[in-house]
Structure 1
């Protein structure tokens, strides 16, 4: 054993290391459901834009059909990307922040997350504004639980984004 290893063992003996947890595998301990909420709002907005697109017909010019397909492809791709971002952010909260102790206070936590993950997948698969709104509602529910688990009250505030909707914010006690 090297001198450095002996020194480390002595330090560990005097001051035992504490177990820590963080989403980035570095002990920053920073978690926040805000990114998941913004991603869900983006999914809503892409669905709104898809619904608002002018329809093409058999009489539409080749240029109009090409523009339609291009724009639909862009909205669809962005919708799917943000649904996946939402899933990623939820996985971080579910897998890294929430612990077994949280299940005592929130026994339906796994079901809520599972439902949110399924809704995010559905939003990748479909252009469905109802499913997008359901996703936001489920993410808001998770945000409320998250902030309450940290001892904060919560408030919903209207989003100033084009998608409208609301965002959940913490209110310190």
Structure 2
């Protein structure tokens, strides 16, 4: 091909795309569903009676390669019980300016307290609002749940909670 036809060939690509149907996304108005295993915003889960699953172990913070998670654990008391075990996450923060969405924090959580939702709208015009605190991360209370602090379900131990035997109703009895 002669040298002077090179630029004309480049314009040929542009000219051919001028008559194709545009591939426009109507994002703010029409939100496309994400894949089922999409890693979006984090969520701190609750037990069926409303107690928090987070035990304040800080394993998620240690597993985070971007150092985006800060956890401060505290001890439960009989007067104020936030989780079924000895400890709970008193301070829980995720900095979405640093988070890379890798999901290593989810794998590190021993109680499945931390999961990721499909919510992907994490943009803001203020940097401070992208540091999510515990109040934004906790799962909402479902019907039948009681907001902590409150006592464990009568007749149960923390093992009943961790085994998933507390379902909001009377716990399952172990068969012997």
Higher strand share goes to which structure? 2
**Larger helix fraction of residues:** 1
Task: State the TM-score bracket (shorter-chain normalisation).
Answer: under 0.3
TM-score norm. by structure 2 comes to 0.27
Normalised TM-score (structure 1): 0.27
Q: Which has the larger radius of gyration?
A: 2
